[in-house]
Amino acid sequence: MPQVEISVGGRHFEVACQPGEEPYLRSAAALLDAEASALSEQIGRMPEGRMLLMAGLMLADKTASLEDRLRQAEARVAALESAARTRPPEVEVPVEVRVVPPEAIRLMESAAEEAEALARALAEIAGAAPPAPAPG
């Protein structure tokens, strides 16, 4: 089991941890050291046990505050997700109204008449009955 030397409030400690946990231990010790150092600056030198207790309580208070904020944020996210599921998405569909110009309509009618005339002529040449005119 690895031994890690840490410093908290100007005091040095040797702490055992599981293999691979050394970076986490050093990180946690740095947080505790920051609180202990702030206490030492405000209050001055105090017994080791009291310094560690006070620093631990200060970290616990910060942690509780962060947990409250996390719960509030999670509740807000859940409410937004619920609202997003129950409300249809707001999608703006562009609508274009195009009017076919009268000249184009006349050209299409003329082309249709010519196509029908050609079909009748081909049917007469082939000896078949001419097709019925398209309804129009």
Asked, for residue 45, whether it belongs to a domain, the answer is: yes
Asked, for residue 133, whether it belongs to a domain, the answer is: no
pTM given for the model:
0.53
- Residue 4 φ then ψ, to 5°: -120, 130
Asked, for residue 127, whether it belongs to a domain, the answer is: no
Asked, for residue 41, whether it belongs to a domain, the answer is: yes
As a whole number, mean pLDDT of residues 54-75 equals 93
As a whole number, mean pLDDT of residues 58-69 equals 93
What mean pLDDT, rounded, does the chain reach?
87
**Is the predicted pLDDT of residue 128 greater than 80, yes or no?**
no
Bridge partners, 7 (sequence order): 12
Query: Worst-scoring range by mean pLDDT, 10-14, 67-71, 119-123?
Result: 119-123
Which residue range is the domain that position 43 belongs to? 3-86
Asked, for residue 12, whether it belongs to a domain, the answer is: yes
Counting the structural domains of the chain, the total is: 1
The answer to whether the beta carbons of residues 9 and 2 sit under 8 Å apart is no
Q: How far apart are CA 55 and CA 40, in angstroms?
A: 10
Asked, for residue 65, whether it belongs to a domain, the answer is: yes
**Beta-carbon count within 10 A of 26 CB:** 14
Asked, for residue 64, whether it belongs to a domain, the answer is: yes
Asked, for residue 129, whether it belongs to a domain, the answer is: no
- Residue 56 φ then ψ, to 5°: -65, -40
pLDDT tens for residues 87-101? 776 777 777 877 888
